[in-house]
Each structure stands twice: as C-alpha cells, then as structure tokens.
Structure 1
Amino acid sequence: MNYKEALAYINSHDINKIDLGLEDIKKLLESLGNPHTKFKSIHVAGTNGKGSVCAMLSSILQKAGYKVGLYTSPHLIKFNERIKINNQDISDLKLARLTEKIKPFAEKIKGITYFELTTALAFLYFAEQKVDYAVIETGLGGRLDATNILPAENCSATAITNISLEHKDYLGDTIEKIAFEKAGIIKEHVPIVTSASGAALEIIRKRADEKHARLIVAKPMEYECSLQGEFQKSNVGIAAEIAYLLNTDNNISEDIIREAFKEIKWPARLEFLKHNLLVDCAHNPGASLVLAKEIERAKEDTKNHYERVRRIPYFRKLILVIGILKDKDYKQMLKYLAPLSAKIILCKPNTERALDPEILAAEIQKEYAKDYAIIKDVKEAVIYAQETAQKNDLVLVTGSFYIVGEVYMLYKK
C-alpha cells in the first residue's frame, strides 16, 4: 500500500459520520496489541482552545527533552498534520505502512468510523516510536469519544479548556449536559485542570470528586506566548498548571516553560498570512465571540500597549470573508462578527456540511445594514477581498477550518 492508496482507504470512511461509543475502537486496538497502553498520555477536551493547549504542552515537553506525540483534528491542508512526533508530521511512508497494518483488522469491524481509524493510527504510531508522552485531543465531547479509551494508569493529566453550546445534537442542549459529556474524560486518581466556570465547573467538580481526581482551576497567566490573542492567556494557564504537575523530577524548570511558550507552532490561530490578511479558525459562537473581542480590543487600543504586545496592527475598516458549516449556529456567529465589518464576503466551505451562503445573505439582509457579496469559491472570495481592500483595511478570513485551510494553502505554498 502506498500513500495515495492509504489516504483513499482512510477517506473511504465518511469523515462526517459520528458514532459515539468505545466498543469498536476497543476491538480495533485489542487486535493491534493495545498500543494505547504503551505510552504516557495527557488527554485534553473542551469546546474551544483544546488544540492550542495541546500544542503548548507538546512544546513544553519537547523543550524538557521528551519525545512527544501529538494527536489533533481536524487538519488544515494535509491529513498527516493530525499525527506528529516532536512537531514533525507522520511521514507518507509510515502512514501508508501503518494503514496497511490496520486495514485487515478494521475491515472486520462493521461501521468503523473515520475518526476511530485515525485514532488507532495515531496510537499505533506513538507506541511503535516509543514516545515518552502523547498529548491527545478529543474529537467530539469526551465520555464516548474514541480517544477516551486511554487508560487511567497511563494518563498523567486531563484538561478541559472551557464549555459552551456546540454539537447539541450529540452532546445535549444545555451547558450542564455538554459539561457532563466532556467531564467523561476525567479518570480515576488522575489530576484534572480546567478553566471552566459556573455550572460547567460544578459538573466537572462533581465528576472529579467521583473519580478521586485532584481538580485544579487554572487562571489566565502572563507568560510571553508566540500565539497571538489575549484569550490565549487562559490556555497558557492550563498548560502551565499541567507542566507544574509533570515536574516531579525537577526537569521542567520555569525557564523551560517560559522558553517553550515563545516557540509554539500552531497555525491559523489569529495568524497573519500577509500584512493585512488575518486568518482564524473560529468555527462556533464561542470562538467567534472571542475573536470579535480580539478585533475590538485591537481597534480600541492600537496606539499603546495592545499593538505593541499582541501585534495586530492598526486597521481602518474590516472586510470579513466568512463561510460556515450548516450544523453551526450561524446567527450567533454573525451576531458577533457582522457589526464589526464594513463589508462581508460570503463563501462556501468545500464540504457537504457547508451552509449555503444565500442563507447567510438572508440573515445579513434581515438583521444588519451591511454591504455584502456572495462569492462561493473561497480562493476567489479572498482574492476579491484583497483587491478591494484599501490602504490600512484588514481582511479577516474565518468561519470554519475548511475555509481557513483553503486560504492557508493558497498563501503558504
């Protein structure tokens, strides 16, 4: 099996199929010799920020001299991005070899999902490469997510970044129900670090008590960080608290933590691809609200501290390029971002899950007196935005990973 054949096999499983439960992943991993039991793990859940926390932890542990696996989703450009060791994507050759190894066992399990297959690939790779730690991001929820097969005895810490309403069809329609699902990753006697608050925190606290797990409520921290945005301080706080927990042999010093935060690589999170082209993977109301606050803060404070520290330059008008998936609360996302925009360009993510831009247009006509255009092709939409932008205008591309991935590929070639 070559790389192209491996990807074709992986992609023959519907990426949009969600079948929560641990029975199938358990069967598959057992047939592979239970690779998930052969490395220490850190398990991270949450509505937003979990990928950033994972990247931070990977950076800290690498800086301390450990060999670190990192499993996240989705990918921006290439599938291999999901599975890394020491920040290097799995090679095409290794991916093909492992897929060939897994395929005969996976085919015996009716209904195995794309995410379950990918999770098994990551765990097998980490076990074969003998990583010291694997930092694992949940796919959806926590309790019944395939990654929750990770055993407590090998898990050094768990984290829940924050909780807001998302994936209500699968996780529940209240903060409490969603918090319950995400708190399902809390393991017996394994410390849990969170920045959740209110009702979500109380659900997490109850679960931690049931599992005799030490609960640490992380506060925002002021480490200098290579990732832009005031909101990253909360993620920094979680990663730092976990680093303190892991520093049992005095090998993760304060200097190592400080330097690691300066060297984090995590693309398309409040990132400039050109001097006036900003991309961010905000893909739900919670993330859109955080992004809106960041834009507002930059606009209000460009003459002093914020511009100097957070590096969003002065801008005159905001041109918003946005495309959203149909299972997202697009009205709330527009509520946060549309009022900040002088012009809105509506495009369509390259996926069956894409929301028709005409629906976004109808909402803008109804609720916002904003100039807008529909250009369904993402690349054409961004090129148009760049061409129409005046001096000191800022083009912001957001709404989904699919949108940002296409733009990232266009400008990062």
Structure 2
Amino acid sequence: MNYLEMRQWLSSRPASDLENGVARINWLLERLDNPQLQVPTVHFVGTNGKGSTLNALQSILRSSGYTVGRFTSPSIIDFREQIVYQQEMISEEDFARIVTDLQPLIEDLDQTAGLDAISEFEIVVVAMFVYFAHYQRPDILLVEAGMGGLQDATNVLAPLAVVCPSIGLDHQAFLGETHAAIAHHKVAVLRERVPLLYATDQPEVVAVFEEQARRFQSPTYAVGREILLENSRAGFAVSSPLGRVEELKVLMQGRHQEVNAALAVTTAQLIKPYFPTITNETIRQGLSQAIWPGRLELIRPNLMIDGAHNNESIAVLTQLLEEKYADRDIQILFAAINTKPVDQMLSQLSQFGPVSVTTFDDFRAVQLEDYPSGYERVQTYQEWLEWADLDNPEKLYLITGSLYFITHVRKYVLEKLF
C-alpha cells in the first residue's frame, strides 16, 4: 500500500468495542516481540494538560542532549503528526510500509474469536511502537493516552513514570459520570513501583490515585504536597524531595502552565538516573523554549487563540482573562464539536465580553442553528477576523473552543495575517 491507500484502508476499519482493546493490542505486540518495551517511556494521562506537560518534558530532554519520540492524539491537521521523532513527523513512506507489513497479522487477528476487529486508532498505536523500536529509535518515548487509560490502546507500557496533570468531566459516556470513576480509568495505566505524579487536589480523585499507588507500592508526587511552586522576580522555583530548581520561566500563559511545568521538572528529576545529563540548567533551558501551539497563545498582541474544549479548560481560560486582561475590551469567537457541554462553556465565556459563535468544516461541528439563542452567529472565522481591529491595544480578540477549530484558525492567521 502507498500512503493514500493505507489511509483509506485504515479509515475503513470498523469501530471496535473498548472492552477488548488492550487484549487486541497485546495479541499483536506479542507477535511483534513487544516493541513497546524496547524504548524507555513516560506515560501521560488526564483530561487537560497532557500535551503541554509532555511538551515541557520533551523540551527538557532535548536540551539535555537526548533524542525524543512522541505520541499524541488525535491528529488535527496531518494524520502523521501523532508520531513524531525529534520534532519530525513519521514519513508517509515509513507509515505506509509499517501498516502494510502489519496487514497479514491484522487479518489473522480479525478472525480470532472473542477479540473483535481492531480499530484504526489501535493499529496506529501498534505502528507507532514498531516505528520507534525499528525505524527511528529514540533515547526515550513520551506517550499520551488516547482516552482514559484502563481500556486505552496505550495501556501496554512498562513506563518509568506516569504523569496526570488533571482530571475533569469529559468522555463521560465511556469513562463514567464522576471524577472518581474517570480517575479509576486514568490511573489504571500505573505499574508496580512506578512513580505517579499528579496535579489535582480533588479529594475523590486523590483517594483513587493513592489507593492504586498503595496497591502497586508506587511513590506519589502531588503538586501542592511533595511538589511545591514558589514565585520570585526571576521566575518561579519548583521544590520536591528530589531537589530544587530556581529561576524557571515558561513561554505559555497561565498559572496552570507553571503547574504543568512543575510536573515536567519533577519527572525529569525522577528519571535522571537513566538520563544523567539532565541538570538544573538544562531544565531551565528546556522549559524556557517549550511551547504548545494553540494553548492560551497570544499570536498577536491583541489576538489570542486557545483550544479550551471542555468546562475545565474554559475555567482555566477565564481565570487568565480575569487575572491579566480585565482592563481589555474582550471580544470572543467560539466553535465546538457536538459532544461538548456548549451551553455551560458559553455561559462561562459570556461573563467576559460579547460572544459570537461559528462553525467549521468537521462533521461533528456544532452548526450555527444548533447553538443556544442569545449569541451572534458568524458564518466563518475569517469573516469575524475581517472586522477585528487587530491594531487596537485596548481590545483582546479571543478565538476558542474545539482543538480542531483552533488549529485551522491558527494556520490561517499565521499564513494570512503576518
């Protein structure tokens, strides 16, 4: 198969039951000599902040001289962006070759009783492990869970650490209706004696995490308990039983980014025995260069984009607006997919200024007629940007909502408005 044929074949794969997902993945991986165990890994789970925290650790590791592989999902612009080695996406040729080589095994698996057909995402995960074991082997692989943890296709690792920046109410149809239920899914990726780092203080979530850690004799590092942040004129400091790093700075806005950075710093300290060139200086340097596009990103002095795609991330966004932009005339454009609590998200945003709604090119996008009343409807984000006074320092134009939406907006702005 060439790349286009591979994409078409993958998209034709049936949806699979989550219940047997890990069993299907293990069936394949065992026949491939377990490529997922051939590279040291750190596993990231949680509702929000996984990408930012992973990116911060990636930057620290690269500043320390190590090669880094990365798996994140879903893809937004290019399907290949899920699998990245040293900031370069997997090539179309390698991706097609790996999946073509997997095809006979997948056909055998499809005929295996009780396992159901393997899904597109599960095949991509297996292809990712093969790529990093046999095509571009990094010093370390950073893996973001797809959804949850317990039944997620990435729940086949023996990680050096598990990192969870947050637990929020998202994907409830699959993960449960409460924070505790969702926490059970996320922390199921933990292994015996593997450190667990997290940044939530919700009592019901902490109870779930600590109970699982006790079962596995895993040390835990919680922000606000073992991991402490202190602000100073020279930036901020992170202290833990593993040491103290001062004069830290992050490019990304928001207090939560300092929390994510603290998790990355402590994870780097934890894995230092395996990666000894990590130092306080490489940690500082790495953090100062880390950026995760589309997260509270000030593209121009008065134009911000933020992929606030659920209630929790909207709350983080509105906290930043209150702290840093209360003196601005804020104009907001919002678009979301139809599985999100749109009414609640819009209600939070409308406290900070007039909110317009729009739609975008995705079959899941909320259509204009389906938004609640009381919000101006705009046909396209391009139309909204045309009347924006992007040279007015008294205004802040904010475009937020779905990550898919935000990524298209960002690409347009960088190409057309600069």
Which AA in structure 2 matches 1:372?
A: E
Q: What is the match of residue 307 of structure 1?
A: none
Q: What is the match of residue 341 of structure 2?
A: 329
Structure 1, gaps ≥5 residues long: 303-315, 366-370
For the residues of structure 2 that align with 1:42 and 1:213, how far apart are their CA atoms?
Answer: 15
Contact 2:368 2:377 in 1 (8 A): no
The equivalences for 1:265-304 within 5 A come to: 265-300=291-326
Greater alpha carbon shift after TM alignment, 22-31 vs 177-186: 22-31
Structure 2, gaps ≥5 residues long: 111-116, 230-235, 237-247
- Cα–Cα, structure 1 residues 108 and 347, in superposed 2: closer, same or farther, change >3 Å? farther
User: How far did residue 18 of structure 1 move?
Assistant: 6.6
- Pairing partner for 1:167 from 154, 168, 171: 171
Q: What is the match of residue 19 of structure 1?
A: 18
Percent identity between the two aligned chains: 30
Displaced runs of 4 or more, over 4 A? none
Which AA in structure 2 matches 1:338?
A: S
For the residues of structure 2 that align with 1:63 and 1:402, how far apart are their CA atoms?
Answer: 30
Structure 1 SS opposite 2:372: helix
For the residues of structure 2 that align with 1:43 and 1:62, how far apart are their CA atoms?
Answer: 17
* 1:216 aligned onto 2:229: no
For the residues of structure 1 that align with 2:386 and 2:31, how far apart are their CA atoms?
Answer: 52
Q: What is the match of residue 117 of structure 1?
A: 123
The equivalences for 1:77-226 within 5 A come to: 77-110=77-110, 111-128=117-134, 129-150=136-157, 152=158, 155-197=159-201, 198-218=203-223, 219=227, 221=229, 222=236, 223-226=248-251
- Cα–Cα, structure 1 residues 7 and 275, in superposed 2: closer, same or farther, change >3 Å? farther
- Cα–Cα, structure 1 residues 298 and 382, in superposed 2: closer, same or farther, change >3 Å? farther
Alpha-carbon displacement from aligned partner over 1:376-411 (angstroms, at most 9, x marks no partner): xxxx32332342447333221211111112212323
For the residues of structure 1 that align with 2:331 and 2:12, how far apart are their CA atoms?
Answer: 38
Structure 2 SS opposite 1:107: helix
Contact 1:74 1:401 in 2 (8 A): no
Task: Using structure 1 for the length normalisation, give the TM-score.
Answer: 0.87
Structure 2 SS opposite 1:159: strand
- Pairing partner for 2:265 from 222, 240, 260: 240
User: How far did residue 270 of structure 1 move?
Assistant: 1.4
Alpha-carbon displacement from aligned partner over 1:258-300 (angstroms, at most 9, x marks no partner): 0000111421111133443321111010001101111121123
Contact 1:386 1:395 in 2 (8 A): no
For the residues of structure 2 that align with 1:272 and 1:255, how far apart are their CA atoms?
Answer: 27
For the residues of structure 1 that align with 2:173 and 2:122, how far apart are their CA atoms?
Answer: 20
Structure 1 SS opposite 2:194: coil
The number of aligned residues is 383
User: How far did residue 178 of structure 1 move?
Assistant: 0.8
Structure 1 SS opposite 2:371: helix
Q: What is the match of residue 355 of structure 1?
A: 366
Instruction: Give the aligned CA root-mean-square deviation in angstroms.
Output: 2.0
Which AA in structure 2 matches 1:241?
A: T
